[in-house]
Amino acid sequence: MKVAIMGYGVVGSGVAAVLKQNFAHIKKNSVSDGLELKYILDLRTFPGDEFESLVINDFNTILEDEEVKIVVETMGGVNPAYKFVSSCLEAGKSVVTSNKELVATKGFELLETAKRNNVNFLFEASVGGGIPVLRPISQCLASNEIKEVAGILNGTTNFILTKMIEEGAAFEEALKTAQQLGYAEKDPTADVEGLDACRKICILASLCFNKHVYPDSVYTKGIRGITEEDVENVKKWGGVIKLIGSSKKLDDGRITAWVSPAIIKNGSQLASVSDVFNAVLVRGNAVGDVVFYGRGAGKLPTASAVVADIIDCAQHIKERKALGWEDASEGYVVPFEETVSRFYVCTDSDKAKVDTVFGVVEYISANAFITEEMTYAQVCKKAELSGGAKSIIRVTDY
Ligand code: HSE
């Protein structure tokens, strides 16, 4: 079966490598006529590259070639990826993508287009890189009502926080190390400000709760404001600060969905996830808590998930995988201000004032404490009334 790749960057070249390296294995075990790479679409040229002869720069070559049944999109970004993917689906080709921005912003539409054309649109690699998580949720956990999904969804920020926690590094210093090691981009905004994790929690929440969640409805805060003082205070309390993406189903049918630094108690499975590793915790009403752990980024781990999706498409030509969800609805995501948890507060205000305004708190040090459960709006108001806070970080219960 013939396959095309659109976008020959880190992931696209990994997909080409895995298809070649594992050709015989895939032919023997999964797709009897094998998976043959026919085209690589990219605007650049790759002189001397082993797949140089497959590189084309006209998208229509792929679109008009009836032999190509499966197209891989590893270009990134929404434009022109959205247009190309829509056209391929309309032309009766299944599409596999690793592009989280595309799925988070256009997933509902693309799944509907796939359905109309009786083809598949799969995106396992868009969350957790090489970690199997979307297919296990949609298939192995299908018997469960999912109550909550949360995780460490970004390797770069987890690496930075690990350096801060384990080596006492300052944020800027840890970021520089992440850039030197090639984890963080030159412009680290998407990782550091939580945008990448936001796209991933949108995809997870859409799948777990069967309704699309768009990034602009998800409160998103990155790790730039975390100080060495916060890290030390939280360590003293018995926890770690992680960048968490979280979504929870409420009894009234709405969901919470946010990305923010959050405190995880030592002993939780998520607390020990360090360096560039990712982990996703899913809370089902029959299975309880399950955690998926592994490499959330990187050329071959991500390609591993993409090629598994290609195999799945090849095994389901002219057959639909049961994957899809409803479109978003107004008021579905609870405003972050209304979400409830305990909070860590670090302040310069005097203790008497804190005690008067906050009531019962658990002191970590003279100027840092953990509150009782309250909404985010309440903790902000109380912090203001007691003279202002240097940091407010939510405390999770997983
Ligand atoms: N830059 C991301 C990370 C990988 O650091 O986890 C791709 O989503």
Taking only the tens place, the pLDDT of each residue in 317-374 is: 989 998 999 999 999 999 999 999 999 999 999 999 999 999 999 999 999 999 999 9
Question: Of the residues 102, 191, 274, 302, which should be mutated to test ligand 1's pocket, given the most ligand atoms within 8 Å of the CB?
Answer: 191
Percent of the chain whose predicted confidence (pLDDT) is above 90: 96
Mean pLDDT score, 180-188: 87
* Tokens 């690496």 -> residue: 159
Catalytic residue among 106, 200, 248, 249: 200
Percent of the chain whose predicted confidence (pLDDT) is above 70: 100
Task: Please report which confidence band the pLDDT of residue 88 belongs to, taking 50, 70 and 90 as the band edges.
Answer: very high
Q: Which is nearest to 306 in space by CA: 60, 125, 42, 111?
A: 125
| Closest approach atom of ligand 1 to CA 200 | 8
Contact indicator for 300, 57 with CB cutoff of 8 Å: no
Spatial separation of the C-alpha atoms in residues 267 and 45, rounded to whole Å = 50
Q: Among 150-154, 243-247, 297-301, 353-357, name the one with the lowest average pLDDT.
A: 297-301
Q: What is the pLDDT of residue 179?
A: 92
DSSP conformation letters of 162-212: HHHHHH---HHHHHHHHHHTTSS-SS-HHHHTSHHHHHHHHHHHHHHHTB-
CA 362 to the chain's CA centroid: 33
Q: Is the pLDDT of residue 269 over 90?
A: yes
pLDDT in tens, 240-258: 999 999 999 999 999 999 9
Q: Take atom 4 of ligand 1 and give the residue whose Cα is closest.
A: 297
Q: Is the pLDDT of residue 183 over 90?
A: no
Question: Of the residues 102, 154, 161, 278, which should be mutated to test ligand 1's pocket, given the most ligand atoms within 8 Å of the CB?
Answer: 154
CA of 192 to the centre of ligand 1 (A): 10
Question: Of the residues 156, 181, 199, which should be mutated to test ligand 1's pocket, given the most ligand atoms within 8 Å of the CB?
Answer: 156
Q: What is the pLDDT of residue 347?
A: 96
- The helix (run of H) or strand (run of E) holding residue 24 is helix 23-29
Q: What is the pLDDT of residue 322?
A: 87
Would you say the CB of residue 42 lies under 6 angstroms from ligand 1? no
| CB count in 10 Å sphere of residue 38 | 16
| Closest approach atom of ligand 1 to CA 278 | 6
Q: Average pLDDT, whole number, for the chain?
A: 97
* Tokens 């993406």 -> residue: 245
Q: Is the pLDDT of residue 379 over 90?
A: yes
pLDDT in tens, 25-68: 999 999 999 999 999 999 999 999 999 999 999 999 999 999 99
Would you say the CB of residue 297 lies under 6 angstroms from ligand 1? yes
CA 170 to the chain's CA centroid: 25
Contact indicator for 201, 246 with CB cutoff of 8 Å: yes
Q: Is the pLDDT of residue 119 over 90?
A: yes
The residues pairing with 288 across neighbouring beta strands, listed in sequence order, are: 284
Would you say the CB of residue 195 lies under 6 angstroms from ligand 1? no
Q: Is 390 a catalytic residue?
A: no
Spatial separation of the C-alpha atoms in residues 314 and 165, rounded to whole Å = 45
- Supply the Cα-derived Rg of the chain in whole angstroms: 23
CA of 267 to the centre of ligand 1 (A): 25
Q: What is the pLDDT of residue 312?
A: 97
Contact indicator for 97, 134 with CB cutoff of 8 Å: no
Would you say the CB of residue 101 lies under 6 angstroms from ligand 1? no
Which amino acid, residue 265? K
CA of 303 to the centre of ligand 1 (A): 14
